[in-house]
């Protein structure tokens, strides 16, 4: 924005044009002279991905301080969290969707138990097309419609 001669605000088109030249570009520097520009860029992107992973561990997986008393339990806890994050990333890549979207859709699949004079039956809710596509894209067999039947 700039102020025109008559005191009104106006869009500075020249400034916009100059800034457009830099859109999508960034400058990276490194302290390892033996690395090429491409290697530095790949390393930087890997760093961003690792930082995203730690952020997701704290948010999506709700990782909080856990006070285990034995070291092997701490290691097991961290390993399980890492495996959960790995599964999230695999699901995101297989489906080209965010974990939030995947989790929301699959969180709507429920198992219900119906009880009557003839006995009890347990079944899953019918899958909609998006839920079925998520299972298919991840290479996972969807849950069976009827999971248990107990006649009276």
Q: Does the pLDDT of residue 61 top 70, yes or no?
A: no
Domain boundaries, given as residue ranges, for the chain: 27-96, 110-151
Helix/strand/coil (H/E/C) assignment for every residue in 89-129: HHHHHHHCCCHHHHHHHHCCCCEEEEEECCEEEEEECCCCH
Q: What is the mean pLDDT of the chain?
A: 88
pLDDT-based confidence at 10, cuts 50/70/90?
A: confident
The stretch 1-16 carries a mean pLDDT of 84
Q: Does the pLDDT of residue 63 top 70, yes or no?
A: no
* Beta carbons within 8 Å of 56's beta carbon, 6+ residues apart: 85, 88, 99
pTM: 0.62
pLDDT of residue 97: 96
């Amino acid at each position: 924005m700039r102020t025109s001669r008559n005191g009104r605000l106006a869009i500075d088109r020249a400034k916009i044009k100059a800034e457009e030249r830099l859109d999508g570009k960034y400058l990276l520097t490194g302290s390892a002279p033996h690395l090429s520009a491409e290697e530095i860029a790949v390393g930087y992107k890997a760093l961003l991905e690792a930082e995203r992973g730690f952020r997701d561990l704290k948010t999506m997986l709700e990782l909080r301080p856990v006070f285990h008393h034995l070291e092997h339990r701490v290691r097991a806890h961290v390993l399980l969290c890492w495996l959960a994050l790995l599964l999230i990333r695999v699901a995101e890549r297989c489906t080209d969707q965010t974990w939030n979207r995947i989790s929301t859709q699959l969180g709507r699949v429920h198992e219900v138990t119906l009880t009557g004079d003839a006995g009890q039956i347990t079944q899953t809710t019918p899958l909609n097309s998006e839920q079925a596509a998520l299972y298919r894209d991840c290479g996972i067999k969807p849950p069976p419609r009827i999971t248990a039947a107990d006649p009276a």
